[in-house]
Amino acid sequence: MKRTYIVLPINDTQPQKRYFIRNGETILNDFTASVDAEHPVFEAYIDVTRFGDTPFTLTDDTGAAVPYKTSDKLPKKEDLPNGTYLRPAAHFTTTLGWTNDPNGLILHNGKYHMFYQHNPMSWNWGNMTWGHAVSSDLVHWDEIGDELYPDKFGTMFSGSAVCDERNVAGFGEGALLLFYTAAGDHSEMSRGVAFSQCLAYSTDGGETFTKYEKNPIIPHIVGANRDPKVQWSDELQKYTLSLYLDGNDFTIFTSDNLLDWTRICDLNMPEDNECPDFYPLPLGDEIRWVFVAAHDTYYIGEIKDGTFVPEQPYQIYHRGGTSYAAQTFSGTGDRRIKIAWGRNSAPGAVFNSQMGLPVEMFLTKVGDIVRLGSYPVKETELLKKGTLAVGETTDGAVDVYVEIGDDCGDFTLSCFGMDIAVSPKNGTYTHGGCTAPLTFTGERKMRVIFDTLGIEVFADGGLVYSTMGAIADRTKPLTVTSDAVQIRADVLAM
């Protein structure tokens, strides 16, 4: 699809103002930005294809006209001034602006789609829009551009995607459906409007999307209720929609047609909020359901008697500070693949934060507790560019496999100046102020991915997962302070 953009010079060190795109007196779009023609840091690209042939003007909050350039394509990262500064080697980043939650993850017609929260106007959060990238292998992504834009119901907060294979919603067999929160009162267009849940659909494989004319599909319930995650349930023979309500409260709806939703049960996550995910996983020959929230606390349970029943106290999956608001893909069959938002700051860059590595989820029983684990998808091997020896450094990411000898004492693993202190005797490791268990099962192995903006750690075969944000010092090599540790390091790069 051919797109048209207006292009504005941005400098986030300057005060923000509100800008309006209007047709006569009608507001087509409004946004906040720090426009600075004299000292621009980067250029913001605003897709105006959605306005069609409608004439429009761009003004600031005083009504003064704002000059702009136009373009028919987005720039490439490597062609931007300062465009590669702090870019991770193995993690997805948007070309320009702020990124947060992954949205609408789906394998559709043989192509992986990743939508995400995007502010095309700033390095900071705001103007929430859905960005869009596609991949054939989960690790090499092509950025398509923005897809869902603020409207009269609100800005575009998080949500999910499903393929309507049976045309139960009536948009066409195989239509791609996006469920999202319209965050009212976050723009002038939606001033005074409460948060609600809405739907958009595509009948051309994700090339274009149309918002449902009867939105919202779930009106406001309470607070800033948000983040709908839709998943089919064989047990119910219905679709489920999990939703964050307020405080630490969540709810689950069901539907036969993806349009009309019935509330079936509520849940409380004592230490968590936002961005629920709800999906089945095998546990031996049985099926369990996982209900997980944004900070990665989770319940394990079953769907029976028409509702979700947790069977054990909530557990903790992730430790550390940067992995957040994870979501699993629809349409991946027996594989349950997850991507999280990596809250890894990139000061001075033309983008901010990244996506975590795609991982495959699993369940296993340890004693009387069912635990959720993850491990990088096998497609990560496609990023391998060679090996790295102790004492060497690289411009790529470093994927380190660690085996800890039985007689090993405390040691430190380090790369790019990022340190992990491991205490096998105490059964812990520490990085960036976070201490995590080394193992639940007794396995003494770790896998650590060092990249430009921080690290991801998978211990005990993936039952222990942690992250840390930091800026790589590429003059500092890979080191380990014990001869009782065996390591192998691969270099990864897109």
303: tokens are 């769907």
How many CB atoms neighbour CB 93 within 10 A? 24
| C-alpha angle 287-281-199 in degrees, rounded to nearest 5 | 115
32: tokens are 């906040």
Which residue, among 397, 393, 376, 402, has the nearest Cα to 385 in the 3D structure? 397
The values of phi and psi at residue 406, to 5°, are -65, -30
355 Cβ contact list (under 8 Å, min separation 6) = 91, 92, 93, 99, 102, 114, 116, 339, 340, 341, 342
The dihedral built from the CA positions of residue 456, 460, 461 and 465, taken in this order, carries a sign that is: negative
d(Cα 484, Cα 442) in Å, to the nearest integer?
A: 17
Which residue, among 79, 82, 78, 73, has the nearest Cα to 40 in the 3D structure? 82
Q: Which of 101, 227, 296, 460 is catalytic?
A: 101
Catalytic status, residue 12 = no
59: tokens are 């003004």
d(Cα 435, Cα 422) in Å, to the nearest integer?
A: 10
* CA distances, 44 to each of 8, 9, 32, 170, 236 (Å): 5, 6, 12, 37, 46
289: tokens are 């359901």
Catalytic residues: 101
